[in-house]
Amino acid sequence: MKIGIIGTGYVGLPTGVGFAELGHDVICIDNNAAKIETLRSGKATIFEDGLDEMFLNNVRNGRLKFTTSMREGVQEADVVIIAVGTPPHPITKEADMRYIHEAAEELAQYLQGYTVVATKSTVPVGTGDDIEKIIRNRRPQADFDVVSLPEFLREGFALHDFFSPDRIVIGADNEKAGAVLRDLYKPFEGKTQILYVRRRSSETIKYASNAFLAMKIHYINEMADFCEKAGADIYEVAKGMGLDRRIGDRFLNPGPGYGGSCFPKDTNAMAYMARQYGVYLSLIETVIKGNDARKARMANRILETVKNIPDAKIAIWGLAFKNGTDDCRESPAMQIVSELLAHGAKLRVYDFKAMSNAAKILGAKVEYATSMTDAVEGADVLAILTEWPEFGKADLTEIKELMNTPNIVDLRNLLSPQEARNLGFCYQCIGQ
Ligand code: NAD
């Protein structure tokens, strides 16, 4: 099949690479010319495990191409996948549909023959109808259908999740479009649940799933707060809970609060959308407020440890919103860093992959370290904010020698509390 993918970001690029690997002819379109130039030069523009090699193989065998030209990517495509961003509106927090609408306007001009337009971006319910209207207005005679094809990949596991998804959801209101997507996803038949639903149900499934996962994280974080006061251990509690298959053992890791490019924006968009329908989603509204407040409380924990140290220096390990990615969007680490800066703190930061993305946001407000050890030199507290496993393997004896004052606030519970305390650190973690 010929596939055009509009938007070559954290979703579009792995999706393009994945479909090319399955043997399709893929053209990835992006209006960011610098991005396309980098991709054409054979360099991936995001960090994802296993991406570089598969990307290069498919570029070399000619199945994966990149362009800034909508015409080139759309005119011969059997399926056009929309994977542009739907960021939160700065005030209302509803999904900003500008990029979706622009993409629909543009792609409409170049449709030729029957084409399925599939929306992979996370979009409010009813967006399929809007895209259909936009295209129909521009090209009344065009032969097309619009389907919802929500994406569930996890950054850091994008290719794994492309090839082995828990499920594929296809929201097609018409059999002809459904048949094209059935063909596209043939290699997954028998291995993965493929669910065919109404387009509006499909759009809802994505938000309902992300909001549920965000709620699960917030729930275990609140249980961690409880355990700290009650003398229980959150890991023992999570294990005991997770053995119940109705609860399940995943997403029961306590931390500084959920973040990333999806959960915060999707919970807010879902709550906004529901309010527009006159439905008050009390759980989601509460989770959003609780999760925002949690980041400020976590920053306070760090500040408390150094409140009596004049001119204290804070070392930060981790800026990405989770390990395995360079993505800093809505990262809890970045929000905690901002909170610390707002209190006038002096920070020296380090991350394995997210330094350049973080620098775009933080500029000269922090010092940038070149390694984990470089970050802690002369520090009065070390705050661990992203769960890169390497942080958990640090040589604590060396870290203690380098630090000015041996304080650690481990918001990812990566270190052994016993080892840290035996070495003389004042060590705090979550839920224990
Ligand atoms: P991103 O910002 O990384 O990528 C979007 C890309 O679209 C950018 O490169 C941008 O230049 C391009 N773009 C915007 N308008 C365009 C246009 N008119 N023509 C061509 N290119 C255009 O975003 P992302 O993280 O890949 O997310 C894309 C969508 O997928 C969002 O709706 C998001 O909610 C959803 N999603 C993301 C994830 C994730 O883990 N990142 C997971 C599931 C779903």
pLDDT digit string, tens, across residues 320-342: 999 999 999 999 999 999 999 99
Pair 116, 147: CB distance under 8 Å: yes
Mean pLDDT score of the chain: 97
**Per-residue pLDDT averaged across 135-143, rounded?**
98
Question: How far lies 372's CA from each of 27, 350, 381, 391, in Å?
Answer: 40, 6, 13, 8
Mutation pick for ligand 1 pocket among 97, 261, 326 (CB with most ligand atoms within 8 Å)? 261
- Model pLDDT, residue 400: 98
Q: Which residue type is seen at 18? A: G
- Model pLDDT, residue 65: 98
- Model pLDDT, residue 302: 98
- Ligand 1 atom at shortest distance from the alpha carbon of 68: 20
- Model pLDDT, residue 136: 98
What percent of the chain is predicted at pLDDT more than 70? 100
pLDDT digit string, tens, across residues 338-362: 999 999 999 999 999 999 999 999 9
* Other Cβ atoms within 10 Å of 181 Cβ, number: 21
- Ligand 1 atom at shortest distance from the alpha carbon of 158: 40
**Per-residue pLDDT averaged across 391-402, rounded?**
98
Measured by CA distance, the residue closest to atom 28 of ligand 1 is: 85
pLDDT digit string, tens, across residues 27-80: 999 999 999 999 999 999 999 999 999 999 999 999 999 999 999 999 999 999
- The residue annotated as part of the active site, out of 262, 328, 426, 429, is 262
Mutation pick for ligand 1 pocket among 6, 84, 209 (CB with most ligand atoms within 8 Å)? 84
Question: Whole-prediction pTM value?
Answer: 0.94
**Domains of the chain with bracketed CATH:** 2-197 (3.40.50.720), 207-279 (1.10.1040.10), 289-428 (3.40.50.720)
Expressed in angstroms and rounded, the spacing between residue 289 Cα and the centre of ligand 1 is 26
d(CA 233, CA 222): 13
- Model pLDDT, residue 134: 98
Expressed in angstroms and rounded, the spacing between residue 422 Cα and the centre of ligand 1 is 47
Measured by CA distance, the residue closest to atom 2 of ligand 1 is: 85
Mutation pick for ligand 1 pocket among 6, 11, 149, 160 (CB with most ligand atoms within 8 Å)? 11
Q: How confident is the model at residue 184 (pLDDT cuts 50, 70, 90)?
A: very high
For the question of residue 262 being annotated catalytic, the response is yes
- Model pLDDT, residue 344: 96
Pocket of ligand 1 (CB under 6 A): 6-12, 29-32, 35, 83-86, 99, 102-103, 106, 120-122, 151, 153, 155, 261-262
β pairing state of 79-82 and 2-6: parallel
| CB hemisphere CA count around 262 (13 angstroms) | 21
Measured by CA distance, the residue closest to atom 20 of ligand 1 is: 30
- Ligand 1 atom at shortest distance from the alpha carbon of 123: 32
